[in-house]
Amino acid sequence: MTTDLNQLRHDLVASIDAAAGLDALEAIRVHALGKQGAVTGLLKTLGGMSPEQRQAEGPRIHGLREAVTGALTARKESLEAAALDARLASEQLDMTLPVDGVPAGSIHPVSQVMDELAEIFADLGFAVASGPEIEDDWHNFTALNIPETHPARAMHDTFYLAGEHERPMVLRTHTSPVQIRTMMANKPPIRIIAPGRVYRSDSDATHTPMFHQIEGLVIDKGITLGHLKWTLETFLKAFFERDDIVLRLRPSYFPFTEPSAEVDVGFTWTNGKRVIGGSGDAVGGGWMEVLGSGMVHRKVIEAAGLDPDEWQGFAFGTGVDRLAMLKYGMDDLRPFFDGDLRWLKHYGFSALDVPTLSGGVGA
């Protein structure tokens, strides 16, 4: 058997050294070390030998396997190095050619929609206001007519901050505190939108612990629900870039507005997709809630230090992420926050696509 092992070793190593490519080398490996390979077959014979035979033949057979494995490794490294050298020799760079444009990156859909909203409301005479994301409970709840017994104050809905504070501190659950701060710091008339991040303890396909919201506030004399409806209708027509937007206002309840209304927009099904526009009562149509709104509650106006008999106003709010999903056909909220560049490459916007009302907010 010793002569046979030596001959087999010589033949296998010679064929390995002569392998012209990685595919040929892999075929030799399978022939020698595969399940039905020559060396594998010899290893299987050890189980049927006597202890004396196994002691004599075992080291030789294992030595054969190690020799073949070593030869395979060395030849593979040699072939890969040769392939790399050939690739480097063929991939030459002509330094006289003009340089390709530097990638400008992509604008996240949330940022794009934020810009679109700012453009629309700026044209309607609204300013952009901002406020802290860590709020005290007075601005976040009390001043907005949300009593201590209201479910929104429960810890399963709100992130409370630990530590000793003059007032309980929370991650703001809406951008409504910005409305209070604006009314306290500025004299009416007031027209603002308050976009920004908000936080609630919720997470699924349509909810995340952090999301983006935009709220609007108008405080002036003689403000009515008619002003609210016209503002929302004008805004939604501009945002969805359609003139056939139909609104439906349903009575609802919010602590900070009275009366309050949920705002639905009509849509139709086209090729299995929901397309905003048209009446929801039309054949094949339906209604979808997109906004919450209402006339600012007297107690909220009083909390901000204004006289509710002199000043009236309306407020509205909606999710920026939800608007992006509706306009650009996204069906899951979670990828907005996953940081997946493939998703951003698909849905992202060019850095040069700055929305303007003249050029189109969805350009």
Over residues 240-253, the pLDDT tens digits come to 988 999 999 999 99
Contact 245, 310 (CB under 8 A): no
Contact 294, 258 (CB under 8 A): yes
Residue type, 120: I
Per-residue model confidence as pLDDT tens digits over 139-197: 999 999 988 887 777 766 788 888 777 788 899 999 999 999 999 999 999 999 999 99
d(CA 142, CA 200): 18
Residue bearing tokens 């601005």:
139
Higher pLDDT among residues 283 and 219, named by residue: 219
C-alpha dist (Å) from residue 83 to 18, 40, 79? 16, 30, 6
Top-ranked range on mean pLDDT: pick from 15-29, 35-49, 250-264, 348-362: 250-264
Averaged pLDDT of the chain: 86
- Tell me if the pTM is above 0.85: no
Residue 103 confidence class, pLDDT cut points 50, 70, 90: low
